[in-house]
Amino acid sequence: MFLLRGCFRILVSQDCWRKLEGSFLLTSNPRRVVFYLEGPNPGIDLLIDSVAIACEQKVGMTSSPNIVSNHDFLNGLESWHPNCCQAYVTSGNSNFLNGVKPLSGDNYAVVMRRSENWQGLEQDITDKVAAGLKYNVTVFVAVHGDLHGTTGVQATLKLENDSSLSYVFIERIVVSQDCWKKLEGSFSLTSKPRRVVFYLEGPDPGIDILIDSVAIVCEEVITYRVSSNDEDISNNDEHIVHNPQFEDGLNNWSGRGCKITLCSSLCNGKILPVKGKFFVAATERSHNWNGIEQEITGRFVRKRTYEVTALVQIFGHTNNAGVQLTLWVQSPNGREQYIGIAKTQASDKEWVQLQGKFLLNGVASRAILFIEGPNPGIDILVDSVVVRRPIKAGSSVPPITEVDSEDANVIRNVSLTDGLNQWNPLGSCKLSICTHPQSFSPVEYSLSFYQPQNKRYILTTNRTETWMGPSQIITNRIKLHITYQVVAWVRLGSGASGPQNVNIALNIDNQWVNGGQVEANNDRWYKIRGSFRVEKKPSKVVVHAQGPPSGVDLMMSEAQILPVNRKTRYKILKEKADKIRKQDIVLKFIGFHEDLSGASLKIHQIENSFPIGACISRSNIENEEFVDFFLKNFNWAVFGNELKWYHTEPQRGHFNYKDADELLDFCQKHGKQTRGHCVFWEVEDAVQPWLRSLSNIELMKAVQNRLKGLLTRYRGMFKHYDVNNEMLHGSFFQDRLGKDIRAYMFREAHHLDPSAVLYVNDYNVEDGCDPKSTPERLIDQILDLQKSGAPVGGIGIQCHISHPVGEIICDALDKLAVLGLPIWLTELDVSAVNEHVRADDLEVVLREAFAHPAIEGVMLWSFWELFTCRDHSHLVNAEGDINEAGKRFLALKNEWLSNADGKIDASGEFKFRGYHGTYSVEISTKFKSISRSFKVEKGDSPVVVIINS
């Protein structure tokens, strides 16, 4: 136990208030911290009026991130640019000017051959600053040259917009010859320009500027209050919402386009408050967005996670309705953003909890939290709204996922040699065992459709419900956290007319789980392949076949449920990946002054050229940590919503390309390739209301305008386009404009931008769970488009997948590969609460993609918490902590880098086998070390790379 007392003390007199001020700093985090006031002699009463403890987090050079890249010039002039002059970095005493030694480290920058006062050294800091924040600048500078007396050195910002250029003075100091001085200043941007450049200037022409180090850090001061009750201050409950339980009436609350009323009860006492004395009713609502709101401007900090919890109910002429928590934010430059925090189905019978999280990447000049959602005329009742910092969840525990090799199949009596033992009819149907008149041979039907090999099958008759079929109880044979593959052969019998869905389902404690699904007919046997996983110990698990309507007989053969052995699969995939992603490489060293034969070398791969990208949004690039992770780990990008039609033209004739323009500028600046997602979206729910209201003639004209406007504006800028998203699942444009409209979209897009590769893009193609979206159906769709002249250039598989099985994914990819088109996983995410399980699932998909020759790239559908489309699918937590799934992703990327070392042979060559991408090589001779870089492109093997002197 450690006791620290006497932090600060003050002298006071009788009945006179005095202000006690002091500060403290903890060097470690103890189990418990208690603050108290003490001191007067016994018998003297201590009067306390108020207590405040404020955490002053001043960002400085040592404790907060420096946004300047290569701030101490350890990497030469990397990230720096001499403005109409020349510069170099000293290295060693021999290069120090006039004996001027660096203040710290081994070098400094010298800016020379200056012919104007404004010439100096600059760095682009656009993506590292935000409007509304204060930045402190610290630079150590000196001057050298023919100087008599002193001169000035100045720090300046250059702000560039599309049509204007301005300069912001930061600070200027007077310096003398060969003497280091410290320049300190600060700046703040009222709005974010298109480009921000920091530079140093000032001395007369001919005078060199010496720069030892540069620091620009953001200053944020965060204040916490001492709670007046027993709430733990370590939970960071910052009371962002005032009057959260309406104890102070309607104070701080208002109606958003409607009227709000304070209630103690409603409906003759049937509706009562839960937490306090009152609740609020939002009434006279004429629009869905009407509700109760509170402005919370200035009460929360950017890049911090907050959890919102509300109790809601509805009142009116409906039993249930969707209710939503939304945050409206306006940035200093006037940009508006709506952040959906949480949704729930509210009831008119009981209070339900509405809970979610939010994080704001940028600076907010205004912020309003509101509750909305039901149709006009429905009242929203709100019992309480609380916003606080969430309790940080502990790390996931890795589950045991070992697979037993013996007796692996969970299903018993698969071959039916023991009659119907273990099998039972689900419902009042009748089961019988039948035998085919002859054994089947694996005759190919179309694209990899075969017959079952077992002669016996279960015939289900007298089916009066769709869910009736053969079943088996497997409760005690299922292990938690294990991924199981489901395989079965099914066929329709008598009573069938046309294709019907057949499903292998699992009933897990009365919860239905899809184990695989297919659209079957009575013309042949169909193979079902699917998967599932159980995360909580069940009391009962039943597997059964189901699906056709009543009166249709169902046949099933060779049903299996097998635990997936991923480690065995990974060995196979590693061998496949090495064959298709690596090449034999010969380095030839030419033109060197000395004989390099026998010289040692080390080869390090800097980046694998296999495309791995991620989804980003306009708000993401205001978060410095997000940008840093993205730039380091991805080489492609796709925009979440900013290019979609409902975003670029939300109302007819009102266009918003600003967000897409800024994202594209960001990607081009950092050398990231981009996919265009998407030109059209065939699912009706994704079509904006004004489009749905058009006549067919007007709709066709709108389609033509969309194609011309988008493809012309961004001609040559997007490498790929998803032309008409999810055509297997939607048919809005086809229903309204005819079958040829889809091919027309492809033909016209190619005409307007011939450089872009045009993709089909759909979901559920890879996992066997959706009969609408099979590889066979996608192949038929592509062939049909090509017959109509559509220049389909690639296949996009979204891959929003759960409990993936590598063999099922590979089977789907093999089928699609027969078309000879490049395949991309365009929107990959996996979802699991346990981070280790999520990591395992992500590894399955990435290894399958990397090892398949038809896959030419992978895009993750975001990676940052609160900015993913599925919960529990992120790799990085909202405030920048990399979780287990993120660590596995980085480990795989590192595994896919090749390194080699050895000696150059007598002919001046060195041979090794490595992945495609960028490399560096270090050659050590008797006299010096030589560094070079080279790139290996996909081509004939071996690849010969010339390394010149």
State the CATH number of the domain containing residue 919: 2.60.40.10
Note whether 784 and 761 are same-domain residues. yes
Mean pLDDT throughout 166-184?
Answer: 87
Half-sphere exposure of 694 (CA within 13 A, CB side): 19
Look at residue 225 in the predicted model and tell me its pLDDT: 36
Look at residue 407 in the predicted model and tell me its pLDDT: 56
Q: Which residues are catalytic?
A: 726, 827
Task: Tell me which of 868, 889, 910 is where a domain ends.
Answer: 889
Give me the torsion for CA of 794, 795, 798, 803, rounded to 10°: -130
Count the domains in the chain: 5
pLDDT beyond 50 at 222: no
| 368 domain residue, yes or no | yes
Note whether 673 and 796 are same-domain residues. yes
pLDDT category at 681 given cuts 50, 70, 90 is very high
Look at residue 235 in the predicted model and tell me its pLDDT: 41
Mean pLDDT throughout 844-864?
Answer: 97
pLDDT beyond 80 at 125: yes
* 747 CB-near residues (< 8 Å, 6+ apart): 789, 790, 791
Between 497-501, 827-831, 834-838, the lowest mean confidence (pLDDT) is in 497-501
CA angle centred on 495, ends 493 and 501, rounded to 5°: 70
| 915 domain residue, yes or no | yes
pLDDT beyond 60 at 155: yes
CATH number at residue 795: 3.20.20.80
Task: Tell me which of 370, 388, 406 is where a domain ends.
Answer: 388
The enclosing H or E element of 514 equals strand 511-520
Note whether 677 and 823 are same-domain residues. yes
Mean pLDDT throughout 16-39?
Answer: 73
Sheet holding 259-263, edge to edge: 259-263, 279-283, 379-388, 305-315, 352-359
pLDDT beyond 50 at 461: yes
Task: Tell me which of 533, 564, 595 is where a domain ends.
Answer: 564
| 57 domain residue, yes or no | no
pLDDT beyond 70 at 92: no
Give me the torsion for CA of 27, 32, 37, 41, rounded to 10°: -100
Look at residue 436 in the predicted model and tell me its pLDDT: 75
Look at residue 229 in the predicted model and tell me its pLDDT: 34
The enclosing H or E element of 474 equals none
Tell me the percentage of the chain whose pLDDT exceeds 70: 93
Cβ 923 vs Cβ 908: under 8 Å: no
* Alpha-carbon span 501 to 469, nearest angstrom: 13
Q: Which two tokens stand for residue 451?
A: 């017959």
pLDDT category at 194 given cuts 50, 70, 90 is confident
- 306: β partners: 358
Mean pLDDT throughout 651-661?
Answer: 96
pLDDT beyond 70 at 447: no
pLDDT beyond 80 at 48: yes
Indicate the SS3 state at residue 766: coil
| 51 domain residue, yes or no | no
Look at residue 450 in the predicted model and tell me its pLDDT: 60
Note whether 247 and 378 are same-domain residues. yes
For residue 358, CA distances in Å to 222, 256, 866 come to 18, 20, 7
Q: Which two tokens stand for residue 789?
A: 């002249």
Q: What is the pLDDT of residues 342-355, one digit of tens each?
A: 999 999 999 999 99
pLDDT category at 31 given cuts 50, 70, 90 is low
* 14 CB-near residues (< 8 Å, 6+ apart): none
Q: Which residue has the higher pLDDT, 62 or 734?
A: 734
* Alpha-carbon span 583 to 576, nearest angstrom: 13
Q: Output the furthest CA–CA distance in the chain (Å, rounded).
A: 109
| 190 domain residue, yes or no | yes
* Alpha-carbon span 348 to 346, nearest angstrom: 7
Note whether 816 and 854 are same-domain residues. yes
Mean pLDDT throughout 164-175?
Answer: 86
pLDDT category at 28 given cuts 50, 70, 90 is low
| 419 domain residue, yes or no | no
pLDDT category at 782 given cuts 50, 70, 90 is very high
Sheet holding 430-435, edge to edge: 430-435, 456-461, 554-563, 483-492, 526-533
Q: Which two tokens stand for residue 278?
A: 């009152």
Note whether 630 and 779 are same-domain residues. yes
Look at residue 192 in the predicted model and tell me its pLDDT: 82
Buried b (16+ CB within 10 A) or exposed e, 686-721: bbbeebeeeeeeebbebbeebbebbbeebeeebebb
- Match 């085919």 to its residue by tokens: 436
- HEC profile of 609-661: CCCEEEEECCHHHHCHHHHHHHHHHCCEEEECCCCCHHHHCCECCECCCHHHH
pLDDT beyond 80 at 106: no
Look at residue 917 in the predicted model and tell me its pLDDT: 96
Look at residue 54 in the predicted model and tell me its pLDDT: 67
Name the packing angle between helices 624-633 and 884-895 (round to 10°): 30
Note whether 748 and 883 are same-domain residues. yes
Q: What is the mean pLDDT of the chain?
A: 89
**Residue 749, domain extent:** 613-640+655-682+715-889
Look at residue 220 in the predicted model and tell me its pLDDT: 57
Note whether 125 and 273 are same-domain residues. no
DSSP 683-749: SGGGS-HHHHTS-HHHHHHHHHHHHHHHHHHTTTT-SEEEEEETTTT--HHHHHH-TTHHHHHHHHH
Indicate the SS3 state at residue 688: coil
pLDDT beyond 60 at 228: no
* Alpha-carbon span 230 to 242, nearest angstrom: 18
Between 23-32, 92-101, 360-369, 491-500, the lowest mean confidence (pLDDT) is in 23-32
pTM of the predicted model as reported, rounded to 2 decimal places? 0.75
pLDDT beyond 90 at 884: yes
| 933 domain residue, yes or no | yes
Cβ 182 vs Cβ 140: under 8 Å: yes
Mean pLDDT throughout 128-142?
Answer: 88
Between 23-27, 244-248, 403-407, 626-630, the lowest mean confidence (pLDDT) is in 403-407
Look at residue 93 in the predicted model and tell me its pLDDT: 66
Q: Which two tokens stand for residue 54?
A: 């404020």
Rg over CA atoms, the chain: 34
* Alpha-carbon span 208 to 85, nearest angstrom: 10
Note whether 746 and 882 are same-domain residues. yes
| 110 domain residue, yes or no | yes
pLDDT beyond 70 at 468: yes
Note whether 721 and 842 are same-domain residues. yes
Note whether 787 and 925 are same-domain residues. no
Q: How far apart are the first and last CA of the chain?
A: 66
**Of 344, 391, 446, residue with least CA distance to 235:** 391
CATH number at residue 515: 2.60.120.260
Look at residue 183 in the predicted model and tell me its pLDDT: 92
Look at residue 60 in the predicted model and tell me its pLDDT: 34
Note whether 100 and 197 are same-domain residues. yes
